[in-house]
């Protein structure tokens, strides 16, 4: 069974995207095994391996080394590469909107003025309200 297709990468977007492209190339050279099948060999979750090759953020060194072991890469070479990417990413200029305050407010409560932090879940919210109104008990949990 094939997994969901990965999002395209843009190597010119920076060191994280280039590194993710290198991870994907290593995986392709190893036969393009699914992340799920490689998870047992790597000792990491399938989603962790997938996120390492997403290019959104630099994975931790243990995740990189597990990914490399799973796909038969040279761990010493990749540890050096990981350090190089981390240094390059840390010195890369930040985009303007990255300086914005993050939406997580810690232990502070959310107020009506924080409504602009919440969007994109209207259908889910409507469904939850429908369930709560039609049943005596509705439990919501996250993972």
Domains and CATH numbers, the chain: 11-95 (1.10.260)
CA distance 15 to 59: 12
Q: 0.75 cut: is pTM over it?
A: no
CA distance 131 to 119: 20
Pair 72, 30: CB distance under 8 Å: yes
Say which residue the tokens 């392709």 belong to.
Answer: 28
Q: What pLDDT digit, counting tens, does each position of 58-87 carry?
A: 888 888 888 888 877 888 998 998 889 888
Q: What pLDDT digit, counting tens, does each position of 88-137 carry?
A: 887 776 555 555 666 666 677 777 776 666 666 778 888 888 989 999 99
For the chain, first and last CA: distance in Å?
25
């Amino acid at each position: 069974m094939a997994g969901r297709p990965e999002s395209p990468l843009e190597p010119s977007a920076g060191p994280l995207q280039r590194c993710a492209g290198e991870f994907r190339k290593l995986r392709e050279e190893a036969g393009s095994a699914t992340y799920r099948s490689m998870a047992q060999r790597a000792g990491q979750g399938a989603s962790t391996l997938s996120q390492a090759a997403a290019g959104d953020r630099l994975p931790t060194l243990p995740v990189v080394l597990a990914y490399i072991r799973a796909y038969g890469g040279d761990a010493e070479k990749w540890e050096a590469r990981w350090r190089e990417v981390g240094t390059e990413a840390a010195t890369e200029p930040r985009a303007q909107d990255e300086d914005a305050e993050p939406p997580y407010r810690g232990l502070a409560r959310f107020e009506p003025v924080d409504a602009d932090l919440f969007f994109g879940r209207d259908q889910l919210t409507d469904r939850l309200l429908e369930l709560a109104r039609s049943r005596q008990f509705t439990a919501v949990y996250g993972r």
